Structure 1
Amino acid sequence: MSLNLREWIVEVDITKLQTALEEGLVTSEELVAEYIDRIDRYDPRINSVLEINPDAISIARSLDQERLDSGSRGMLHGIPILLKDNIDTGDKMHTSAGSVALAGSVASQDSAVAAKLRSAGAIILGKANMTEWSNFMSSYMPAGYSSRGGLVLNPYNPGELFVSGSSSGPAAAVAANFATAAIGTETAGSIIGPACQHFLVGIKPTVGLVSRAGIIPISASQDTPGPIAKTVKDAAMMLGVLTGADERDQTTKSSEGHAYTDYTSFLDADYLRQARIGVPRHYYMGLDVERRAIMETAIETLKQEGAVIIDPVDIVVEQQNWNNDVICYEFKRDLNHYLAQLPDISQVHSLRDLIEYNEANSEIALRYGQDTLLRAEATVLTEQEYIEKRQQYNHLPNTEGIDYVLERYELDALLLPGDVDGMYIAARLGYPLITVPAGYSQQGIVDTDGDSTKGPFGIVFSGKAFSEPTLIKLAYAFEQATMYRYPPQLSEE
């Protein structure tokens, strides 16, 4: 059997890749070369990849030889993966959070995520574009824009469809089959939103399940990396590689006794027969006609597959205030710490340095301003004031939010639309989310922010802390019953 690699690589999953690699039908070196060729041919219209790892080919060749000599390390051995550009890699690539201010910044060591991927045998193919500073720079900045990389476009219709969230580059790249999967990061919607808008599966883990060490921060109480992939199985494989306690991130201690190294054991296509799922109707109110119809169809599918649907369920609604002192305090504190440890050759070692650099280079750095950076720099909270405000900030979600509703109605999860508003209550608590493709809006509308609702759309399952096994069961069962995903039709410039 021979492979037409150019055609075969489109939509191929990790399991099929490993089978082909083990049978000698393809090598990792050939995979890397083919993905790079696809990026060269198609990404000029998408703008999703910032840079290719200059050592990717040699790493792939070495892993091919290791497979021959001593066998595979596991399911990610020789698999090309992209990382969002705020994730450190101790190699020749840069980590800039999309900012021209850090365009030449090279990390001294791997982030915990990068180290775990390398240990599992994955090939870090390159860095993906993103919304600059994870969309914590300017309230006027469009999703997917960075001063270093320009604007990410949605491969399903470049220039017309919304990309959503700061992990737009990883999502667009995976959707376009520029890599097998990717790692994004989320504070509130930045994995789930882009995955939803690109017909992908995204897992936003419980904060503490995966280490944030070596990731440019926004919020210590909400940030987490997580996988973006074409299937629930691939996302589950990726998640298992990333978990574990890490001394560089003390929050990961909370995951002890709750983390797994293999989440594929939770891929249960029949799980909906015993599931109880709640529908918080408040979060459906802003949907246009087509996306509401997608949600109603998903609810009917869940019922047909045996799930008990509790509709509606009441949940306290309080919109997250992104100008909140808590988030600004955490951003200023932790970004200053990250920037301070950069090599002396960097011009930026603090948030104040960053603001001044942007002002001095405003033509390239400040297309959309930096009002959010300025607001964070102006934060003058004391540590005690921060602790008190954080407790107030989380009071309603803790007492009348997800846990309260799940326990009151004896639910496995809540079912949310794949837009950002419904994710805030989970984000505040650092709780997990998973999205899976659910339909395509053919017409859509242009919302008040000028973003089109046309295009791919997903459903989101939300649960308690460390409920990833249950959420994976639900998402996998829905995916297997529907199989909505299909790839975009790409064209070269």
Structure 2
Amino acid sequence: MYAVIRLRSTAVLLALAGLVAAPVPALAAVPAQPGPSLGFDLDAATIPELQQRMDHGRLSAVALTQAYLRRIDALDGKVHAVVAVDPAALRAAAASDVRRRTGHTLGQLDGIPVLLKDNIDTRTLPATAGSRALPRSRPAADAALVDRLQRGGAVILGKTNLSEWANYRSTHATSGWSGIGGQTNDPYVLDRNPCGSSSGSGAAVAATLAQVAIGTETDGSIVCPAGANDVVGEKPTLGLVSRTGVVPISAEQDTAGPMARHVVDTAITLSVLQGRDAADPATAAIPANQPRDYAALLRPGALRGARIGVWRMAGQDADVDRVVQDAVRTLTSRGATVVEVDPPYQDQIGAAESPALLTEFKRDVNAYLTHRPGHPANLNELIAFNRKDPVELSKFGQELFEQAAAAPSPADPTYRAQRATATSLARRSIDETLAAQHLDAIVAPTNSPAWKTTYGTGDAFVLGSSTPAAVAGYPNVSVPAGFAGPLPIGVSFFAGRWADARVLALAAAFEKAAPARRAPAFIPTIG
């Protein structure tokens, strides 16, 4: 099974890489707090700070990668965020160090360890979507986004757990659980839920198990785990990042995006991820003038003179209301004009989105599985596999799989009307709100405090603001904003199509004005 090939020992990885390195500390010697063995706070360090240290010879990519591997060894037994580490990670880090010594670095991600959600294809590790039906799935090629990361010099550290099939198997699914990886825990309170299908990516970054992780989102699966795990997550404009080699739910909404502890790291990673791909037609629409270096456009004073709509979603959770009010005070104190808004059409968007996704999932997952010989070849075969497997249906069922199998074809007029309604109304909900109030962006609560993880009844989700941007295909970035006790709450900045630079700049200015993130304490439970 997949778990058997986990290679978490740093010593094993060093041997595989053929490297000569300093002795690896025993597991008991690994510090529980970030970074003392490196001489600085790894949790707080940004990519530019790491690059500066490497440029001045105070840090190497191998030492940085070792530090993250040791933390995985020491801490992931509590969080269960990482399902496998890449045996080539230290070899890639050593190659980065050679490039640096010879003056041939590949950019701001060179030597930076990155984790990938386990629905992203890599040749070195299986791509399972968390399913026991695909434990030995070895793609013939890396996903396009992985190729871009590698060409940018990033060190692929391994794979993160996810909500199985990106949380699209059951109406009663529990976020963070998969048949391959088990249950990912929220590192702030371990019996609480990490939210969304990119749960492992969010939890791993929060626990400082990598500098950056890549998540994917159809509706909320980047921004919600970012909010619940007190990190930054950016869901890009649809088409900005190629989906080739990523297990799909819907080509009309799916996108991959970066998750990190700092907005600047998210911006740097997005700059590397983005680009056209002939195999993903959505990327052909990237404007010729789309920025190529988002980090260069981050300005501490970006909020001054900005007009921000605040969508409070008030009255559902008192802690969320307090955090949003604190965010409003921060925005106004930094010179922004805040306007109360309530984006229209939300009920109609949801009513059309749900049935449309059923048709799109069947279409797109069947197309993906045709390239995975030796495993279930289509959705019906996945359903049959799960019925026979002793683990897959042990926590919850596969109602969405069964509904998708019975869904109409993409040529069906009802489906076509549902998709047109969902997308057009989602775009109008944002575009009309921005235009009516002359706004630069909308800010809203990303998440309510994390709920206790249980099985059989689904997630105890209270609120989220992801749907308009997700269904519209517009950019959305979540940034830490506050806490309910020890549980993080984020706020999201979203705006119109291709406005990724704008929302990142606003989020970075907010982050600097009101730094809310703190490292997790791995509390077992709370009352």
TM range, normalised to the smaller chain?
over 0.9
Normalising by the residue count of structure 1, what TM-score does the alignment of the two structures yield? 0.92
Instruction: Flag structure 1 segments of 5+ consecutive residues without an equivalent.
Output: 443-453
Local SS of the residue matching 1:100: coil
The alpha carbon displacement at 1:490 in A equals 4.6
Do the aligned residues in 1 keep the contact of 2:353 with 2:422 (CA within 8 Å)? no
- Residue matched to 1:438: 481
The alpha carbon displacement at 1:313 in A equals 4.6
Aligned residues: 473
Cα separation, 2, equivalents of 1:291 and 1:184? 24
Cα separation, 2, equivalents of 1:22 and 1:176? 26
The alpha carbon displacement at 1:321 in A equals 4.1
Local SS of the residue matching 1:274: coil
Match of 1:307 among 311, 333, 336: 336
Amino acid at match of 1:221: E
Do the aligned residues in 2 keep the contact of 1:6 with 1:34 (CA within 8 Å)? no
Cα separation, 1, equivalents of 2:144 and 2:43? 29
Match of 1:251 among 282, 287, 293: 282
The alpha carbon displacement at 1:67 in A equals 1.8
Cα separation, 1, equivalents of 2:153 and 2:210? 15
Matched, 1:381 2:424: no
Cα separation, 2, equivalents of 1:314 and 1:115? 38
Cα separation, 2, equivalents of 1:465 and 1:182? 24
Match of 1:26 among 44, 49, 59: 59
Do the aligned residues in 2 keep the contact of 1:284 with 1:292 (CA within 8 Å)? yes
The alpha carbon displacement at 1:364 in A equals 4.2
Normalising by the residue count of structure 2, what TM-score does the alignment of the two structures yield? 0.86
Match of 1:35 among 65, 68, 75: 68
The alpha carbon displacement at 1:8 in A equals 3.6
5 Å-filtered alignment, 1:153-172, equals: 153-159=185-191, 161-172=192-203
Structure 1 residues 188 and 491: CA distance shift in structure 2, 3 A: closer
- Residue matched to 1:451: none
- Residue matched to 2:295: 264
5 Å-filtered alignment, 1:249-398, equals: 249-281=280-312, 283-286=313-316, 288-313=317-342, 315-318=344-347, 320-321=350-351, 324-342=354-372, 344=373, 346-385=374-413, 386-398=415-427
Do the aligned residues in 2 keep the contact of 1:90 with 1:107 (CA within 8 Å)? yes
- Residue matched to 2:80: 47
Match of 1:152 among 171, 177, 184: 184
Structure 1 residues 129 and 272: CA distance shift in structure 2, 3 A: same
Matched, 1:72 2:105: yes
Bigger CA drift: 467-476 or 183-192?
A: 467-476
- Residue matched to 1:409: 437
Amino acid at match of 1:428: V
Local SS of the residue matching 1:246: coil
Structure 1 residues 258 and 168: CA distance shift in structure 2, 3 A: farther
Structure 1 residues 150 and 7: CA distance shift in structure 2, 3 A: farther
- Which ranges of 4 or more aligned residues in structure 1 deviate by more than 3 Å? 362-366
- Let me know the Cα RMSD of the aligned residues: 1.9
Instruction: Flag structure 2 segments of 5+ consecutive residues without an equivalent.
Output: 1-34, 448-462
Structure 1 residues 256 and 368: CA distance shift in structure 2, 3 A: same
Matched, 1:457 2:523: no
The alpha carbon displacement at 1:258 in A equals 5.0
Cα separation, 1, equivalents of 2:476 and 2:285? 18
Q: Once the two structures are aligned, what percentage of the paired residues are identical?
A: 36
Q: Deviations over 1:315-347 (max 9, x none)?
A: 3332524883311111111100111111x3x22
Match of 1:10 among 35, 39, 43: 43
- Residue matched to 1:222: 253
Structure 1 residues 455 and 382: CA distance shift in structure 2, 3 A: closer
Bigger CA drift: 129-138 or 308-317?
A: 308-317
5 Å-filtered alignment, 1:48-197, equals: 48-91=81-124, 93-159=125-191, 161-197=192-228
Q: Deviations over 1:68-116 (max 9, x none)?
A: 124311111111000000011122x111111111111111101111000
Do the aligned residues in 2 keep the contact of 1:276 with 1:410 (CA within 8 Å)? yes
Cα separation, 2, equivalents of 1:69 and 1:310? 53
Cα separation, 1, equivalents of 2:410 and 2:322? 48
Amino acid at match of 2:247: I
The alpha carbon displacement at 1:279 in A equals 1.9
Structure 1 residues 491 and 196: CA distance shift in structure 2, 3 A: closer
